[in-house]
Amino acid sequence: MFPDLTRDDVFRIETRRLWLRWPMARDAEAVSRLAGDPAVAEMTARIPTPLPLHEAERFVIRARATNTAGEGLIMALCRRGAPANLIGVISVENRPSEPEPHLGYWLGRSFWGEGLMTEAASAIVDATFAYAGGRTLASAAIIRNTGSRRVLEKCGFRLTGEAAPVFEARGGAVPSYTFRLDRAAWLDRRGTVVGGPSL
Ligand SMILES: CC(C)(COP(=O)(O)OP(=O)(O)OC[C@H]1O[C@@H](n2cnc3c(N)ncnc32)[C@H](O)[C@@H]1OP(=O)(O)O)[C@@H](O)C(=O)NCCC(=O)NCCS
């Protein structure tokens, strides 16, 4: 899905306040601590809480393998002033049950409410359409997850329906909203968003 450009671990995306870079082995502790926080994990489909260190280590290995193969783009979020310190994760990857690549993300609780995920999501959406040439991106948010829904809306995603997928980590079916962004809408939006990124 992704080209040679993103398949090397020197690949980075820079935003106003963030670096998006490949996850590294030393990020596992932060992934375990921040994503394993129930306030974070319980809003996601797949993250268990607590998240043991060995599971976080497996996540880093899987992320790097996915990025290397170009099958997706799974990036650590770091503030630009502290590029070694992971504060969240954002990903675009294929899921077995879904026909379109899926945008997913989480941010450590103490970093919420600063607009950081909107900044990161806009950047990875731009990179996906610009570099991967895809036609559509999908995403989803648990119905009570107003913050995630707003992130998607602010990036141009359109609500397409409701579903109740079974998430093993959440112990059963979870009512969720589904979202989509297609290339035409992305291009249209790039033409109209003042100060949008130039790729
Ligand atoms: C959802 C999440 C990524 C949002 O990250 P964030 O950086 O705080 O989001 P932003 O600051 O970019 O906020 C985007 C919008 O959502 C709103 N928002 C954020 N959190 C909110 C909340 N808890 N309730 C209501 N609105 C919220 C913001 O006000 C903003 O909207 P506005 O510009 O209209 O005011 C973060 O809360 C998180 O990681 N949650 C746990 C994991 C998760 O939900 N992952 C997504 C799974 S689908």
Q: Per-residue pLDDT tens for 24-44?
A: 999 999 999 999 999 999 999
- Give the pLDDT confidence of 113-163 residue by residue, as tens digits: 999 999 999 999 999 999 998 899 999 999 999 999 999 999 999 999 999
Atom of ligand 1 nearest to the CA of 139: 48
95: confidence class by pLDDT, cuts 50, 70, 90: confident
Domain annotation for the chain: domains and CATH numbers? 4-137 (3.40.630.30)
93 to 99, 102, 112, 131, 172: CA distances (angstroms): 11, 5, 24, 14, 23
3-state secondary structure of 56: helix
Which residues partner with 106 through β-bridges?
Answer: 89
Structure tokens of 42? 């319980």
Phi-psi category of 45—alpha, beta or left, where left has phi over 0 and alpha has psi -120 to 50? alpha
What is the Cα gyration radius of the chain? 16
Mutate to test the pocket of ligand 1, among 112, 125, 178 (most ligand atoms within 8 A of CB): 112
Is residue 194 pLDDT above 80, yes or no?
Answer: no
CB 151 less than 6 A from any atom of ligand 1: yes
Which phi and psi (to 5°) does residue 26 adopt?
-75, -5
Residue having the nearest C-alpha atom to atom 15 of ligand 1: 150
90 lines ligand 1 (CB under 6 A): no
Q: What is the pLDDT of residue 191?
A: 79
Residue that is written with structure tokens 């996906």 in the block: 128
Task: Using pLDDT thresholds of 50, 70 and 90, give the confidence band for residue 193.
Answer: low
The pLDDT of residue 196 is above 60: no
Q: At what angle do helices 183-192 and 116-127 cross, to 10 degrees?
A: 120
Residue 192: pLDDT over 80: no
CA dist 64 → 94, 117, 172 (Å): 15, 21, 29
pTM above 0.85, yes or no: yes
DSSP 8-state secondary structure symbol assigned to residue 130: I
